[in-house]
Structure 1
């Protein structure tokens, strides 16, 4: 069967099947219309979802920091990087399925889109149950590997174990959201992110402090609140899919798609492993970084935890625009609209730089007030955190540009070059900077390693985008 690339060079060789229709809530046609406007409108719901999710985490950190202290806040930072690692392991499979969904929607093949979505959901369920069981029993060993400060260890233990219990519901929710965006619907995930965030913010203080009929659970209550909110939102999203006859809903014989066929599984694994490895490289570097920060003491660990909260906001435009670029490029590749792909990439880069630049300026202008929310106005960690931000916050300008470029590469199944780029920038470059600079400038070597390694990754990503063979990467996509 001709691939999208072959069809692009010879449209007559691969006629696009008649478009099937299905109601999809907020589903947009990403293959037509003005590129910049369409990209912004599609990215905004994803950005709003990211803002809400990060806001929920920030508010929860405020509850934990104010009610339970700096040790508990440091514990959540250690536990959350572990959870990122767990989700990163599956991320690649979900993204590979999203590429299939996007290209199928671009071709107008709704059945292929549902088949890819069902396979991703089934794989997510199996994978998440295994992760949940392993994580429950291995949580203490993981925390020891991170060199979690003794003052924070018990807090981290309680928080992490409850969080592992909630992994299946959380992972299924993330998978449904990724699939929905791949189909061009970014509004449905936003609706249920709003529900999840509201429930999480309300339940956190009730379960931490034991207000009214709720038990006093301390830091475990914060994790349980997040788990309950995510489970309710997942159930609501599934009901919504069927009530609105969403384009990816499964009925009757389509339920068999929850067991992916071999061709699709081979593609998802073949493309998903390198994509998942990209996230593992990022999260693995984050784990090593947490260990290096922990060596600097509790004050620096708490300062870094608060800094990460603010950095979560700064990186949101890059993640939202990168996801939008990937979905939009995939649909245009599926529709043989290669003339629009370069414009999508360029538009994504410009939009991201503008949005990220504004956020950096705002957060640096009001950083003391923001940090006081997490650390308390008299905490010695505030001065350390402000120092970190002045050195490293601008790293998100090159970081965001790299994310957009990688989103385009990923849309056509090019997954190995981004993996190599991320590995080189995160390990030999970033930690090489730390290794050589630490004897001279101490802990500042950690903070300078962020922007310098991001510049290196941008240079490599741009070289691959301009001169690499990514346009012919999608040679084994089922249904292509």
Structure 2
């Protein structure tokens, strides 16, 4: 990360991380595919109606793992072994505590939140059941993501790929067993997800317990270190809040989608699953931008920061453009994977899914550039500014759009076009913020460097 050509290094870091995320999505998509194929469009819509709510709550706290990644990476760059150890132990304790908190919130408020989202009555009971079972596994989800953030800080994206492969295979097999053999559709895929999450936590914790380096975990030293916990929250909480705000706007979009009925909800679910592969692959560049910038900033390799910016933008285009084009061109075929052709709603689901593909998936590179420029600003140590920019440029704009233009023209096209418009605005503002902040910060750091050497 600290030497050599930038773009190949970023791709070397990013591709295993992208493969990890896409593999995880592939196994998560197995939930939806198995339910849609073997239990019908109602069960498919029931699972899909929970997705934005799950993302709203879970991703808010997973976003805090960005604080773990930045703090550990910066201390690695500074060769602070004791600091890396304290941060790693604190991260495990913090993830367990936050996981229990999220689980409690989810179990208590699953049904009221679904009702607030105007979930159709014919899928409400199944959606509530799925959501409650899913939240039982959230503590394991957070522990895994915080552990993986520690490994990413070292540039290790290979082992998380292996761990998710193992847990994902188990998840897919259990999906088939619970849905086809045991006939428990929605509950079955939720139980399978929880079991696979337990396996992924076991594997990542075993790795950290045996780790050859400063991040090696000792069970006796796992505790909340005040200084490290505060720094993680200061850096990571804005990222978590940003994720929450994005998902609040997505919840409002989901509520708008719900107003079109179960068939459109099912179509939105299938298209959303397809688009998530492109999003997740592009989002790996966001994590690369944060990690590379943090390490090089800690090591005082200021000459590489601008090259990381342009290398990250190039990487997200290399990864994102082909995926979004393939997903759009072969949209009908991909959508057909999620629902049986014999289902009465088959044609309606394909038709409405294609609409979402054209308006959301085709221009997904704009979302990738938005996330990448945001990651660069966050890697420079600015935690709150990216959140405020995203709040205004993406979330607030999208909400205002739903309350105005969508209300005036109540069509799916008018709803979905809010996505690319919000991405363009937010990406442009993030890029301006990066160039302004880095110009001032670099001048300040380079001016302070000679004084430090003289002292």
Q: What is the TM-score normalised by the length of structure 2?
A: 0.92
For the residue of structure 2 that corresponds to 1:468, the secondary structure is: helix
RMSD of aligned residue pairs (Cα, Å): 2.0
Residue of structure 1 in register with 2:134 after alignment: 163
For the residues of structure 2 that align with 1:324 and 1:415, how far apart are their CA atoms? Answer: 16
Quote how far apart the aligned CAs of 1:104 are. Answer: 0.8
Quote how far apart the aligned CAs of 1:441 are. Answer: 5.9
2:157 to 179, 186, 194: 186
1:105 to 68, 72, 76: 76
Is contact 1:409-1:470 (8 Å) kept? no
1:349 aligns with 2:313: yes
Residue of structure 2 in register with 1:129 after alignment: 100
Q: Report Cα offsets for 1:298-352 as digits up to 9, x if no partner.
A: 1211111111011101212321111112111111111111111110110110111
1:424 aligns with 2:392: yes
For the residue of structure 1 that corresponds to 2:156, the secondary structure is: coil
2:348 to 372, 380, 399: 380
Quote how far apart the aligned CAs of 1:174 are. Answer: 1.1
Is contact 1:372-1:382 (8 Å) kept? yes
Identify if the C-alpha distance between structure 1 residues 405 and 169 changes in structure 2 by more than 3 Å, giving closer, same or farther: same
For the residues of structure 2 that align with 1:204 and 1:337, how far apart are their CA atoms? Answer: 48
1:223 to 190, 193, 198: 190
Residue of structure 2 in register with 1:457 after alignment: 426
Quote how far apart the aligned CAs of 1:421 are. Answer: 1.4
For the residues of structure 2 that align with 1:92 and 1:302, how far apart are their CA atoms? Answer: 27
User: Bigger CA drift: 112-121 or 465-474?
Assistant: 465-474
Aligned counterparts, 1:436-451, within 5 A:
436-438=404-406, 439-440=408-409, 442-451=411-420
Residue of structure 2 in register with 1:9 after alignment: none
For the residues of structure 2 that align with 1:275 and 1:145, how far apart are their CA atoms? Answer: 25
For the residues of structure 1 that align with 2:106 and 2:183, how far apart are their CA atoms? Answer: 24
Identify if the C-alpha distance between structure 1 residues 233 and 262 changes in structure 2 by more than 3 Å, giving closer, same or farther: closer
For the residues of structure 1 that align with 2:138 and 2:405, how far apart are their CA atoms? Answer: 39
Q: Report Cα offsets for 1:204-248 as digits up to 9, x if no partner.
A: 010123x3xxx4432111011111111022112222333453552
Residue of structure 2 in register with 1:80 after alignment: 51
Identify if the C-alpha distance between structure 1 residues 383 and 306 changes in structure 2 by more than 3 Å, giving closer, same or farther: same
Gaps of 5+ in 1: 1-29, 476-480
Is contact 2:117-2:254 (8 Å) kept? yes
Q: Report Cα offsets for 1:264-309 as digits up to 9, x if no partner.
A: 2222222222221111111111111100110111121111111101
Aligned counterparts, 1:246-261, within 5 A:
247-251=214-218, 255-256=220-221, 258-261=222-225
1:411 aligns with 2:379: yes
Aligned counterparts, 1:13-32, within 5 A:
30-32=1-3
For the residues of structure 2 that align with 1:342 and 1:317, how far apart are their CA atoms? Answer: 22
Is contact 2:167-2:196 (8 Å) kept? yes
For the residue of structure 2 that corresponds to 1:336, the secondary structure is: coil
Quote how far apart the aligned CAs of 1:145 are. Answer: 1.2
For the residues of structure 2 that align with 1:143 and 1:80, how far apart are their CA atoms? Answer: 11
Quote how far apart the aligned CAs of 1:133 are. Answer: 2.1
How many residue pairs were aligned? Answer: 439
For the residues of structure 2 that align with 1:70 and 1:288, how far apart are their CA atoms? Answer: 22
For the residues of structure 1 that align with 2:384 and 2:208, how far apart are their CA atoms? Answer: 34
Q: Report Cα offsets for 1:26-47 as digits up to 9, x if no partner.
A: xxxx112221111111111101
User: Bigger CA drift: 393-402 or 119-128?
Assistant: 393-402
Q: What is the TM-score normalised by the length of structure 1?
A: 0.87
Residue of structure 1 in register with 2:362 after alignment: 394
Quote how far apart the aligned CAs of 1:393 are. Answer: 2.2
For the residues of structure 1 that align with 2:62 and 2:173, how far apart are their CA atoms? Answer: 29
Is contact 2:405-2:414 (8 Å) kept? yes
Gaps of 5+ in 2: 446-455
For the residue of structure 2 that corresponds to 1:192, the secondary structure is: helix
Residue of structure 1 in register with 2:208 after alignment: 241
